[in-house]
Amino acid sequence: MLKQTPLNASHRAAGARMVDFGGWDMPVNYGSQIDEHNAVRTDAGMFDVSHMQIVDLEGAGARDFLRYALANNVDKLKVPGKALYSCLLKPEGTVIDDLIVYFLREDFFRIVVNAGTAEKDIAWLRGLLATRAPRLSLRPRTDLAMIAVQGPQARAKVWRALPGAEVATAPLKPFVATRVDSGWGELFVARTGYTGEDGFEIAIAAPHAADLWRALVAAGVRPAGLGARDTLRLEAGMNLYGQDMDENVSPLESGLAWTIDLASPRDFVGKAALLARPPSRQLTGLVLVGKGGVLRAHQAVRTDRGDGEITSGTFSPTLNQSIALARLPAGVAPGETVRVLVRDRELAARVVKPPFARNGKSLLPPAS
């Protein structure tokens, strides 16, 4: 039996094509994935992300615990509401999950983890808590639903749907959240997302999620499925857990070095292993040169420095060309041409530094 979010009936009523996504019954599109993608790049679209798990960490010493538990440094979080992207690592220095942590109060941090990994993440964190901070409470918020509204018009349309939220949320800077009272109870509104566009992610009490969804539709926000979510995040150069990194690879070989704080003196889970094993591979972007197919995960990549593999690939509606993330030998540089095995042919692809597109525009250097 697939798990359902509180918006399941809303998706079905809108004619969504539903798929099994890691045990959840989720919309992959409501008709055209490319139209949904373009709506987010040019106007406003929304995603049901209620399958992702919100977990609240509460109690004295929460920050100190997270300093040790997370690879990124929560000391960067100084203003209440501020968010940080981080990996959760194994002691071996590989990736258990990637997450966003919000600093709300010194004794209250909110963590959002991936759907498919939520159970193991919570078990892992509880294990760490038992030995290091047994008095902290870790509470999965299964009572909350979450809607991500994304696009250049996303904030304006949220305010049209929720006029009372504008005063509190208009001053929010990117990667900052706040709590807002509404007729549907308390909302948690964060200026975050997974598309490379402006917008909000809104957590709401599950019984009111369909009301908010309906109000957003009335305000002109287009429902978008997991298909568009994947092409948008890939254009924005964002990793997908389970595809671009997992428990078998180092974050330093997954394009995530910027999230790993090896500079500060603090110790954290996985630090010693990362220091002991410098990366020999890198995650980089590829753009197909010409036509001949679509780059996809698991296709082999041949370079002058050895072989690699595509971890995520798709057709980019914004670039009108196929793009990919690939794990390649260290030293392969942007601008170089590599060969990708697509079916029985080798197709040329250019190495680029992600992101590929953000804020509605291609970020690629002109082809030389």
Count of residues making up the chain: 368
Among 5, 10, 29, 150, binds another protein (CB under 8 A): 29
- Residue type for position 268: F
Which of 354, 317, 324, 356 has its CA nearest to residue 338? 324
Q: What is the DSSP letter of 158?
A: H
Least Å distance, CB 299 to another protein, is 10
The token pair that represents 75 in the structure block: 């000391």
Rank residues 28 and 83 by Cβ distance to another protein and give the closer one: 28
CA dihedral 262, 265, 268, 272 (to 10 degrees): 60
Only segment of 39-47, 141-149, 168-176, 312-320 that touches another protein (CB under 8 A): 312-320
Among 248, 343, 366, 368, binds another protein (CB under 8 A): 343
Rank residues 234 and 332 by Cβ distance to another protein and give the closer one: 234
Among residue numbers 280 through 299, which ones bind another protein (CB under 8 A)? 291-294, 296
Q: Which SS3 state, helix, strand or coil, does residue 80 take?
A: coil
Rank residues 12 and 139 by Cβ distance to another protein and give the closer one: 12
Rank residues 345 and 361 by Cβ distance to another protein and give the closer one: 345
Edge-first strand listing for the sheet containing 199-205: 177-182, 185-190, 199-205, 144-150, 45-48, 222-223
Least Å distance, CB 284 to another protein, is 22
Integer Cα distance of 140 and 142 in angstroms: 6
Least Å distance, CB 63 to another protein, is 42
Q: Which SS3 state, helix, strand or coil, does residue 153 take?
A: coil
Integer Cα distance of 150 and 39 in angstroms: 9
34 is a contact residue toward another protein (CB under 8 A): yes
Only segment of 51-59, 119-127, 212-220, 309-317 that touches another protein (CB under 8 A): 309-317
Rank residues 220 and 292 by Cβ distance to another protein and give the closer one: 292
Considering CB under 8 A, how many residues would be counted as binding another protein?
18
Per-residue x/- track, 257-276, another protein (CB under 8 A): --------------------
Is residue 284 within 8 Å of 354, Cβ to Cβ? yes
242 is a contact residue toward another protein (CB under 8 A): no
Among 3, 17, 120, 302, binds another protein (CB under 8 A): 17
Integer Cα distance of 97 and 114 in angstroms: 7
315 is a contact residue toward another protein (CB under 8 A): yes
Terminal CA-CA length for the chain? 52
Integer Cα distance of 133 and 18 in angstroms: 41
Among 227, 251, 270, 285, binds another protein (CB under 8 A): 227
Q: Which SS3 state, helix, strand or coil, does residue 144 take?
A: strand
> What DSSP element (H or E) covers 276?
helix 271-276
47 is a contact residue toward another protein (CB under 8 A): no
- Residue type for position 323: I
Among 5, 10, 33, 117, binds another protein (CB under 8 A): 33
314 is a contact residue toward another protein (CB under 8 A): yes
Per-residue x/- track, 87-126, another protein (CB under 8 A): ----------------------------------------
Q: Where are the alpha helices (DSSP H) in the chain?
A: 8-13, 33-42, 62-69, 118-132, 154-161, 166-169, 209-218, 226-235, 271-276
Q: Is the dihedral of CA 109, 112, 113, 118 positive or negative?
A: positive
Per-residue x/- track, 148-187, another protein (CB under 8 A): ----------------------------------------
Task: Tell me which residues touch another protein (CB under 8 A).
Answer: 17, 28-29, 32-34, 227, 231, 291-294, 296, 314-315, 317, 322, 343
